[in-house]
Structure 1
């Protein structure tokens, strides 16, 4: 009896499939994803090395798209442009139904994937924010000395407001978060 050929799937294809699955189901079920990609669960895990890693890739890919849209729609330069991009980006996330449903259904997983190296999302967001700050720093009215530190602190402030219910079970005031974020950027 011939041995069936092994189906090969690329990491990029798995991430694309994971994005589509997540948007449809507000979660990432590895069995369901494997079925949708016509691969075995073992093959899926061999490619992605775990659900948290794949969730991190999926959430980052979807977030990166929202961030690109927010950047494209930003009309203000400098520090005010950084804040405008953030307002636009967080509004997109707040209205992303699958993402919000995931946060409600799997808060521990969401926190692990979003805030720790397990999913790698936070590090990628900080790096993207560093790029936003560097682009804004061409404005002579504002130029931070420490882009790495400014990006890290800025992202943590925005995360604390955006994910306040996940972190502490209470609502955050976006206006207060923006004032705090502005203060950090002005101090850098």
Structure 2
């Protein structure tokens, strides 16, 4: 009886990230081959392509968000907005991601905005942490971090993915004004 090759979820996500950065997508057959596992084993580990794409997109976005946070110099509401600006620029410059949005808009929407990919919930949690850190500024103390994070992320998503959602280019200035209004109302 041939032995089965075991691969960890972490290794699959790493392989998925590398594949995505080269090809702006994830082909499950090709990824399974590159990891030297069967397609069945790959699906047993990640459960679905959408879930793997969600893990890959989150891993790559989290790196950009972490760097944006490190580079941010402002504090409070201005710091939150600066982090978002830096992150948005990095996302718009991420050519594999932009190519994925153009090539697979339905999959991208499902993975980014629904539980199928799990990206949105992770982005909201990350934003909640950003807001909590910004609340250390005595000039700003949001009462409802969960609500503020959710609304804030939806505004940012509407700007980042305007072409995907509405077929129109994003308006970062209007989005930032709306995001500031949400933060200041909390």
TM-score bracket for the superposition, by shorter chain length: over 0.9
What secondary structure, in the 3-state scheme, does the structure 1 residue paired with 2:138 have? coil
Cα separation, 1, equivalents of 2:15 and 2:169 = 33
Alignment of 1:10-21 (within 5 A): 10-21=8-19
Cα separation, 2, equivalents of 1:46 and 1:118 = 16
1:80 is aligned to 2:61 = no
TM-score by length of 2: 0.99
Cα deviation 1:141-176 (Å, max 9, x = unaligned): 111000000000000000001100000101121000
State the shift of 1:4 in Å. Answer: 1.8
1:148 aligned residue: 146
Cα separation, 2, equivalents of 1:38 and 1:65 = 27
Cα separation, 2, equivalents of 1:41 and 1:31 = 6
Q: Give the total of aligned pairs.
A: 186
Q: 1:159 aligns with which of 150, 157, 160?
A: 157
1:99 aligned residue: 97
RMSD: 0.4
Give unmatched runs, 5+ long, in structure 1. Answer: none
Alignment of 1:1-188 (within 5 A): 3-188=1-186
Q: 4+ residue stretches of structure 1 with deviation over 6 A?
A: none
What secondary structure, in the 3-state scheme, does the structure 1 residue paired with 2:29 have? helix
TM-score by length of 1: 0.98
Give unmatched runs, 5+ long, in structure 2. Answer: none
